[in-house]
Amino acid sequence: MQIWIILPLLVPLLTGVSALIRYRKIRRTFVMAGTFVNMMVSLFILFHLRNGGVFVSQMGGHPAPYGISIVVDTLSAILLAVTGIMAFAITLYSHGTIDANRERFAYYPLLAFLLMGINFSFLSGDLFTLYVAFEVMLMSSFVLLTLGGERPQLGGGMNYVTLNLISSTIFLIAAGLTYAVAGTLNLADLAQRLSGLPAPGITTLLAGLFLIAFGIKAAIFPLFFWLPESYHTPPIAITALFGGILTKVGIYSMWRILVMIFPQDLTYLQPLILTIAALTMITGVLGAIAQTEIRRLLSFHIVSQIGYLMMGMGLLTTVSLTGAVFFMVHVIFAKTVLFLISGITHKMQGSYELKQLGGFQKSHPLVAVLFLLAALSLAGVPPLPGFWAKLILIQAGLESQQYGIVAVALIVSILTLFSMTKIWHEVFWKTAKIETLIEKKSANRQVRWLMAPTVLLIAFIILLGIFAEPVYQISRQAALGILEPSAYVEGVLLLEENDQ
Amino acid sequence: MLLVFAITAGVIFACGVYLMLRRSMVRLIIGLSLLTYAVNLLIFSMDDLGTRGAPIIDSTPPEQMADPLPQALILTSIVISFGVLAFTLALGYRASQAIQSDNLDDLKSTDDEV
């Protein structure tokens, strides 16, 4: 029994509850301490699982296929750690950007409950727990997205809520049908029972349903329209958190379920998935190029990057999934940082429109350097982690002789670079057209809460680039963990013998 | 019995989707909740319907017990959908107040205030 792996659930829950307190300073201290402890716990778990392995905890002591299993393997541990870092950074950032009114209406508790939902999804060991975790996450995200009730938020929120509820419904249908087919909902048990079945069959239907359900959440090609409609409407701290993490929870579930349980159907569906991946990349980046508002532009980039993650799953080799895991870690950091920087420029010049912003490389060279690092990493320029991740993915594509998807991935990289230079030119090089709202001296004090997390995340990006080899090894362990789930299956199912 | 369940679930699904495709906010919300009812029926039909007894130890022999898992799933799903319904109703109310209409198309222009 490794009961302490429920700490990533318990800590955010207690944080959320304690953040309901009325006094602003105590509340902020609680939230900061809570997210910090959560980050440390997650990093600790990752440290223990860096060479593969599985931690399992059976809730209530019921043995594996019957009770609720909380499972962490390397992939979950990586994402828990990244989420922990991100949540801590966003909490710091929120101190400087969230208005008093939103804060009074339970902003911080919701943030903590959202964190709990995300962690819960990474820890779930069976389909129905995963559904419940998704609902915890979605409910918090619904409220966070619409908190404040400004008109754009209501419109975007309506889209977001509707599409995500439809996705949950399809997920529930798929889970119900899986239970009818296999007689179990435990992921380890399912992996054992279903992975041998012939490819075009009843399991292919289930795989397709899961692909649609998680595809809506992950914003893959024909199902992504809710994302650019809604993500730019809430305060920037929330946009950054959603843009960084939420779609990746969908991708994580897709990997966990499709790769681990339905690998033979995934091989059968490979042409479809690679086509979806290519179209997701292209439509995302073309949409981004057409935008003139930073938040919308970056929202379309989220969609584009999802394509690379789909590509890694579609190729279905150890190398491709290693690359995809690496890419996921990097893109969560890079994307969040870009949103955070757009928040800083908004704080200083009061706009998100490219046309109105300008002159930052002269007035705030540090902000310009931070943006440049994140943007070049996103596009994939050599010493930065984005390059290594894309290199591994493209190598995997060449090994599998899927030249079409490799060509698309390379072209989309160039287009990404192009749209990043557009922001660079408009926001940083161009001379400023409007007065900078905050004078330099007071800027330091006001922007301190905004700069600290941004610098923290940029430091992580640089570290990911420098220590690419260890990151590669950990990603490889994560990829092996879902491609050859024997360790996972044994870890979850054999525990019942140890207990009895 | 299974056929009746399948047809009922299908009809409710059709109603839900039809309502969601209307432009009215109220119908959208009713459609969404109908969908969850249809899914509950679908999960309920995972077990042999009406042929077995209640899954209570000492009242039914184990081999005649109905599978309790689908019922547990439905119970959870009902609770969750209740919460979601409450939230969507509140959101719909706020949205209809903001745009002074029930028409979803009026809500479309998310950039009005930017």
Give residue-wise pLDDT tens across range A318-338.
999 999 999 999 999 999 999
Per-residue pLDDT reduced to its tens digit, B31-44 = 999 999 999 998 88
The CA distance from A176 to the nearest CA of chain B, in Å, is 5
How many residues appear in chain B? 114
Contact across the interface for B91 and A154, Cβ inside 8 Å? yes
Report percent pLDDT > 90 for chain A.
49
Residue with tokens 């989707």: B17
Q: Is the pLDDT of residue B89 over 90?
A: yes
- Percentage of residues of chain A with pLDDT beyond 70: 96
- Asked if the model's pLDDT at residue A208 lies above 70, the reply is yes
Look-up: residue for tokens 């429109």? A353
Rounded to whole angstroms, the maximal C-alpha distance in chain B is: 66
Residue A98 has pLDDT above 60, yes or no: yes
* Distance (Å, whole) CA A135 – CA B76: 11
Among the residues of A186-293, which ranges form H helices?
187-194, 202-218, 226-230, 236-241, 247-254, 260-261, 263-268, 270-290
Cα–Cα distance between A378 and A72 in angstroms, integer?
28
What pLDDT does A55 receive? Answer: 87
Residue numbers of B between 66 and 85 with CB closer than 8 Å to A: 69-70, 73, 76-77, 80, 83-84
Q: What is the mean pLDDT of residues A474-497?
A: 82
pLDDT of residue A499: 44
Distances (CA, A) of A337 to A89, A242, A320: 10, 12, 25
- The predicted pLDDT at position B113 comes to 45
Span A302-321, average pLDDT: 92
AA identity, residue A246: L
Amino acid at A204: T
Classify the C-alpha dihedral A11-A16-A19-A20 as positive or negative.
negative
Mean pLDDT within A70-81: 92
Mean pLDDT of A402-419: 92
CB contact under 8 A, B84 and A165: yes
Could you read off the pLDDT of A154-181 as tens digits, one per residue?
888 888 999 999 999 999 999 999 998 8
Q: How many contacts, defined by CB atoms under 8 Å, are there between A and B? A: 92
- Between chains, do A149 and B98 touch, taking CB under 8 Å as contact? yes
Of all residues in chain B, the one with the smallest CA distance to A162 is B32
What secondary structure does DSSP assign to A49-108, as a single string? TTT---EEEEETT--TTTSEEEEE-HHHHHHHHHHHHHHHHHHHHHHHHS-HHHHHTTHH
For B92, the 3-state DSSP assignment is helix
pLDDT in tens, B49-68: 767 777 788 887 877 888 88
Which range, of A182-191, A321-330, B102-111, averages the lowest pLDDT? B102-111
| DSSP structural state of residue A219 | T
CA distance A196 to A179: 17
Within 10 angstroms of residue A350's Cβ, the number of other Cβ atoms is 14
Residue type, A454: T
Tell me the pTM.
Answer: 0.92
Confidence of residue A440 (pLDDT cuts 50, 70, 90): low
The answer, yes or no, to whether residue A1 has pLDDT greater than 70, is no
pLDDT (tens digit, 9 = 90+) per residue, A121-146?
999 988 989 999 999 999 999 999 98
Q: Is the pLDDT of residue B114 over 50?
A: no
What letter would DSSP give residue B66? P
Q: Which of B42, B80, B94 sits opposite A176 (nearest CB)?
A: B42
pLDDT of the residue at A436: 59
A276, with CB counted inside 10 A (0-12, 13-18, 19+), is buried
Residue type, A347: K
When pLDDT is cut at 50, 70 and 90, the band that residue A90 belongs to is very high
- H-type alpha helices, chain B: 2-20, 25-44, 68-99
Interface contact flag, A161 B109, Cβ < 8 Å = no
Looking at residue B8, what is its pLDDT?
93
Provide, as residue numbers in chain B, all residues whose Cβ is less than 8 Å from the Cβ of A131.
77
Mean pLDDT on A470-487: 90
Chain A residues whose CB is inside 8 A of the B104 CB are 158
Helix (H) or strand (E) holding A24: helix A24-48
3-state secondary structure of B108: coil
User: pLDDT band at residue A446, thresholds of 50, 70 and 90?
Assistant: low
Lowest mean pLDDT among A50-54, A60-64, A444-448: A444-448
Mean pLDDT of A251-271: 90
Q: Which pLDDT value is given to residue A182?
A: 86
The average pLDDT across A366-377 equals: 90
Q: Is B55 on the interface with A (CB under 8 A)?
A: no
- Residue B113 to residue A233, Cβ atoms within 8 A: no
* Of A229, A224, A300, the residue nearest B104 (C-alpha): A229
